[in-house]
Amino acid sequence: METKNIGLRNIEVADTKICAIDGVNGKLIYRGYDILDLVKKSNFEETACLLLNDDLPTDKTLEDFGTKLMQARDIPENIEKNLKNLPKTANPMDVIQSRISELAVYDKEKGDDHKTNYNRAIDLISKIPIIIAYWDRIRNGKEVVLPSKKLGHAGNFLYMLTGKEPDPEIARIFDICLILHAEHSFNASTFAAREVASTRAHMYAAVSAAIGALSGELHGGANFQVMKMLLDIQTEDKVESKIKEKLAKGDRIMGMGHAVYKTFDPRAEVLRELSRRLSEKTGQPWYRITKRVEEVTEEEMKKVKGSDIFPNVDLYSASTYYMLGIPMDLNTPIFAISRTAGWTAHIIEEKFAEAQPKPMLYRPKAVYVGKYCGPSGCEYLPIEKRQTPSLTGKLKID
């Protein structure tokens, strides 16, 4: 039997009204709106409201949404106490995932209707940044900074992280970053969230699963790896030798290439400009180094494979976050701050889509390629007569 180890690539598993990706032409669409328009004209709060609804909000809808987000800027006292009891070396993604599960315990709403899930979505979008900011302060032996009553979503996080109100330009740059990362169709973490939601598990369980998927370096952890590479390179003149060395060893250049986009990732296009602006503002060299990584990788891959390779969202987000003064190990948690809007929108759609063209429960089929001993199965031998398995999984005779 032919093996189908394709990781569901290009397999259509459900309809969605939330997001469309045109990988050939480099287009990303949220609820019908081009991401390049949203980053110019919108902000994160409005974008999150768009994702959770079916269109851009009216003034009243957006005002109500923003008020609810602001009112949800707190976490239960016991969760803050539990954060203080964690080892200071704990992985931030593990901290977030465990606290999301803990939030479920404090949810007074026991229903699973559309309105309750909508309110849960707002609550999670608001609380995840609080948890991350609190944890970073606690692990560094600092007092937590209480949420602002006037700053927007992006600015408030930077304020809670540093204790200082951010420069308006810096807050806007971070706000654009959040818009860019808010949604990306059926990626690994979103599919994990929808798969869990399809079992009729609650939203906290689905978001917790999404965070687990996001923590992997091939998904949300990629920009952390990009920044590690940039710090290893150190200077622009070392880029070519370092990239050639990595490619010669068969290493992957993180931040280059994408599973969906066959041309320039539109998010990378925006982040490249943000990185350039921050480099000029701060005097740091990371934009120029990153740009050279992009150029050398494209040149070398063209020689080897004869095809083009383009930067993805992670290449320039790494240097952008670094120049914003964000600790490297918070790169992936910040991805979660943003993507919670998309995850919760998908969870609601999974639970309450008007028409379900698929069975409620996801249940893919696997191709069994293991040992087969005939219609009756393999003979069960007493333990003293069994062969000892080797570390490779093959059997060896004692």
Q: Is 136 a catalytic residue?
A: no
Copy the structure tokens of residue 165: 């109100």
Cα distance between residue 137 and residue 161, in whole Å:
7
Residue 74 has phi, psi (to 5 degrees) of -160, 165
> What is the rounded distance in angstroms from the CA atom of residue 102 to the CA atom of residue 120?
14
* Residue from 353, 351, 354 nearest 113 by CA: 351
Alpha-carbon gap, residue 59 to 380, rounded angstroms: 70
- Out of 123, 258, 265, 346, the active site residue is 258
Q: Quickly tell me which residue has 């993180």 as its tokens.
A: 254
Q: To which residue do tokens 């060395």 refer?
A: 245
SS3 content of the chain, % helix, strand, coil (to 5): 55, 5, 40
3-state class (DSSP) for residue 21: strand
Distance between CA 206 and CA 51 in Å, rounded?
A: 17
**Residue 343 and residue 183: Cα distance in Å, rounded?**
8
Report whether 47 contacts 182 (CB < 8 A).
yes
Radius of gyration of the chain (CA): 23
What whole-number distance in Å separates Cα of residue 83 and Cα of residue 127?
Answer: 14
Which residues lie closer than 8 Å to 381 by C-beta, 6 or more apart?
A: none
Known catalytic membership, residue 219: yes
On the 0-12 / 13-18 / 19+ scale of CB atoms within 10 A, 165 is middle
Q: Which one from 64, 112, 219, 329 is the annotated catalytic residue? A: 219
Annotated catalytic residue: which of 175, 265, 314, 346?
314
- Residues acting as catalytic residues: 219, 258, 314
